[in-house]
Amino acid sequence: MLYQLFEYIHTHYDIPGSGLLRYLSFRSALAFITAFLISLLYGKKLIRKLRQNQIGEKVRDLGLAGQKQKEGTPTMGGILIILSTLVPVLLFNDLSNIYIQLLILTVLWIGAIGFIDDYIKVIKKDKGGLRGKFKVLGQVVLGIMIGLAILLHPDIKIRTKIYPGKTIQTAQSGVKRIHFNQPEKSLKTTLPLIKHNEFDYQWLLPRSLRKYKWLLGLIFVLIVTFIITAVSNGVNLTDGIDGLAAGTSAASVAALALLAWISGNMIFTDYLNIMYIPGVGEISVFLSAFLGGLLGFLWFNAFPADVFMGDTGSLTIGAVIAVISVFIRKELLLPVLGGIFLAETLSVIIQTRYFKYTRKRYGEGRRVFKMAPLHHHYQKLGLHENKIVVRFWIVALLLATVSIALLKVK
């Protein structure tokens, strides 16, 4: 809202300083600071309100050290992340941008699903919460909406660079010009370690079937839906000990903010030989607000936690990371960027499958890990949860750095 207001003032009255909000870097800084301050200022009030209404975590006894002390800790703190993100987004983002509109939809949609799940667990005292199939259905519906928007919306286009060897317009003497193709609807994405860093989803089909656009669109929507569902649930599994999900997610979000800014900047996309995506730089403002909200929440969620984010927060964080990765065409980097979430998810899958297999074959279930998800395995090994969390943060930061570096590695 402030962005539109100052844009109007700058256009019609040219008041000194009114053009500052045109700069993504300035708006990103304002969004981050605003979100962080909202979290700090209203975090204690929210925690107090949750305690007064006895909205506390019911901890299942897993035989882990320090577990009983967490009993009754307020949950549903993801509300704080959502509110502290949306306020600066509404203030400083260009709300006419289709990417921002879809991200607001994502936060509200998945946030509502997580809230319902937490409400059933805490208020209705049903420890099962929202049935898994309904959560997955909500994630699938979001994936279909995002996939169709990318396919059909006229403002979602990319501009690939015209590489050497192609016919390009002659530049004037002494003037360097950057040459990109015209904006086009495309299902190309970024593939690290490959020349020109591009992968086209139509390559998944035999040449004889590529003429059927509906089939290509169906495959793309299915892939987008899988990514959103997988990452959203991956972050949900990671949210098991104080500060773990918030801290590791913050590293991924910070990397995505930089990648979004680069993808929307013609000069840097030219330097890195990657596709230029018009309008996608606006996402960096959204992500700055999201990062501020996450760090503000982490202020209260760090060991020993005063509040837990619940599914309201964890499902939303994962969905936002997945959707933005698809928007900036970096979803194939997610196994690296979200390596922590992948490892947590795989640990659960491996543990479950191996247990069922050995029970069927040997008559008794055996385990690969002492406990899944992975962070509980290290707790069972005797590591203090604070040490586990900090080490996971360090790994998340390293993976985020590697993800950014991979753009230049071909």
Q: What is the pLDDT of residues 285-333, one digit of tens each?
A: 999 999 999 999 999 999 989 999 999 999 999 999 999 999 999 999 9
Q: What is the pLDDT of residues 375-404, one digit of tens each?
A: 999 999 999 999 999 999 999 999 999 999
Rounded alpha-carbon distances, angstroms, from residue 106 to 102, 168, 323, 324: 6, 40, 8, 10
Rounded alpha-carbon distances, angstroms, from residue 147 to 192, 224, 291: 22, 6, 25
Asked, for residue 17, whether it belongs to a domain, the answer is: no
Query: What domain count does the chain have?
Result: 1
Residues near 159 by Cβ (< 8 Å), separated by ≥ 6?
Answer: 180, 181, 182, 183, 184, 275, 276, 277, 278
Which residue range forms the structural domain that includes residue 363? Answer: 30-59+76-164+180-408
Nearest Cα neighbor of 301 from 373, 376, 248 is 248
User: Rounded to an integer, what distance in angstroms lies between the CA atom of residue 299 and that of residue 36?
Assistant: 10
Asked, for residue 302, whether it belongs to a domain, the answer is: yes
Q: CB–CB of 153/145 below 8 Å?
A: no
Mean pLDDT of 59-74: 69
Percent of the chain having pLDDT more than 70?
Answer: 86
Asked, for residue 8, whether it belongs to a domain, the answer is: no
What residues does 198 pair with on adjacent strands? 190
Confidence of residue 6 (pLDDT cuts 50, 70, 90): low
More confident residue, 182 or 62: 182
Pairing state between β 188-190 and 198-200: antiparallel
Asked, for residue 201, whether it belongs to a domain, the answer is: yes
How buried is 16 (Cβ within 10 angstroms: 0-12 exposed, 13-18 middle, 19+ buried)? exposed
Q: What is the pLDDT of residues 162-221, one digit of tens each?
A: 555 444 444 444 455 556 677 788 888 988 877 767 888 988 888 888 888 889 999 999
User: Rounded to an integer, what distance in angstroms lies between the CA atom of residue 247 and that of residue 230?
Assistant: 19
Half-sphere exposure of 326 (CA within 13 A, CB side): 33
Asked, for residue 123, whether it belongs to a domain, the answer is: yes
Q: What is residue 381's DSSP assignment?
A: T
Residues near 357 by Cβ (< 8 Å), separated by ≥ 6?
Answer: none
Asked, for residue 392, whether it belongs to a domain, the answer is: yes
User: Rounded to an integer, what distance in angstroms lies between the CA atom of residue 130 and that of residue 225?
Assistant: 20
Residue 190: strand, helix, or coil: strand
Asked, for residue 222, whether it belongs to a domain, the answer is: yes
Torsional sign, CA 298, 38, 73, 82: negative
Q: CB–CB of 232/365 below 8 Å?
A: no
What pLDDT score was predicted for residue 165? Answer: 47
Asked, for residue 340, whether it belongs to a domain, the answer is: yes
Half-sphere exposure of 108 (CA within 13 A, CB side): 9
